[in-house]
């Protein structure tokens, strides 16, 4: 299996786009997690059926949340998505969430190209209130049978807050992975050199034109 943190980037999140890898399909009570050490998926535990996931659950590659894992994502679709696929999504907002005192936010997204519903979910306000209430209820209570009172949804915030959470998680990942940092710096350096060469050529062309008038 491909190591998603090597083959995938987070996506152009400043433009509202995000790449997400699916761990748990909607309706499943299997807590399937990406095992980053072995680059494969594992079943961490079976949850009570009463706490089956109200939406697909996954992670954003090349991010690091405050809990030490990749940043989580909630993917809203009409049909359950399959564990192990990745998709391009559109960012709608973020579920600000705390688990056992640790920040564990979840970015709320929909597929970028959904021809079944005609891309009708463009902002958080387009989502059914009942769905957001179910998601909030789920994350407030899914650990109640084992460790009651350990999880808390703080709020569902807008796309601007979501982008800030993503930005921070990418920066954390880059800091923790020198090879990604080096690659990013080389890319930026190459882009700068390219634009310097381009403006040099433009200036030379202009000078030749002037000289041959
Ligand atoms: Mg997490």
Using one digit for the tens of pLDDT, what is the confidence trace for 201-211? 999 999 999 98
Quote the ligand 1 centre to 106 CA distance (angstroms).
7
Distance 94 CA to ligand 1 centre (A): 13
Superfamily of domain 4-176: Inorganic pyrophosphatase (3.90.80.10)
Of 119, 151, 187, 189, the closest CA to residue 51 belongs to 151
Kindly give the distance from the C-alpha atom of residue 196 to the centroid of ligand 1, in angstroms, as a whole number.
42
What does the alpha-carbon distance between residue 83 and residue 173 come to, in Å, rounded to a whole number? 23
Which pLDDT band, with edges at 50, 70 and 90, does 14 fall under? Answer: very high
Ligand 1 centroid – CA 112 distance (Å): 23
pTM equals 0.88
pLDDT band at 212 (very low <50, low <70, confident <90, very high): confident
Q: How far is the CA of 92 from the centre of ligand 1 (A)?
A: 18
Q: pLDDT grade, residue 213 (50/70/90)?
A: confident
pLDDT at 181: 81
Q: How far apart are the CA of 15 and the centre of ligand 1, in A?
A: 23
Residues around ion ligand 1, judged by CB within 5 A, are 67, 69, 72, 104
- Give pLDDT tens digits for 147-189: 999 999 999 999 999 999 999 999 999 999 988 888 878 988 8
**Residue 23 confidence class, pLDDT cut points 50, 70, 90:** very high
DSSP bridge pairs for 145: none
CA of 64 to the centre of ligand 1 (A): 9
CB atoms within 10 A of CB 119: 14
């Amino acid at each position: 299996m491909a190591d998603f943190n090597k083959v995938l980037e987070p996506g152009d999140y400043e433009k509202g786009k995000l790449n997400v890898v699916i761990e748990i399909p909607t309706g499943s009570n299997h807590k399937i997690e990406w095992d980053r050490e072995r680059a494969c998926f594992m079943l961490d535990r079976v949850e009570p059926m009463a706490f089956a996931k109200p939406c697909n659950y996954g992670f954003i590659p090349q991010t690091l949340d405050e809990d030490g894992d990749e940043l989580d994502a909630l993917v809203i679709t009409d049909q359950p998505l399959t564990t192990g696929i990745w998709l391009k999504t559109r960012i709608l907002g973020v579920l600000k969430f705390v688990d056992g005192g640790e920040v564990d936010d979840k970015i709320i997204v929909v597929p970028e190209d959904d021809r079944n519903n005609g891309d009708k979910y463009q902002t958080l306000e387009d989502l059914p209130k009942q769905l957001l209430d179910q998601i909030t209820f789920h994350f407030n209570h899914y650990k109640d049978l084992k460790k009651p009172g350990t999880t808390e949804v703080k709020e569902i915030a807008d796309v601007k807050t979501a982008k800030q959470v993503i930005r921070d998680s990418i920066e954390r990942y880059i800091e923790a992975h020198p090879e990604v940092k080096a690659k990013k710096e080389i890319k930026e350096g190459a882009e700068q050199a390219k634009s310097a060469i381009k403006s040099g050529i433009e200036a030379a062309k202009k000078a030749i034109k002037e000289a041959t008038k």
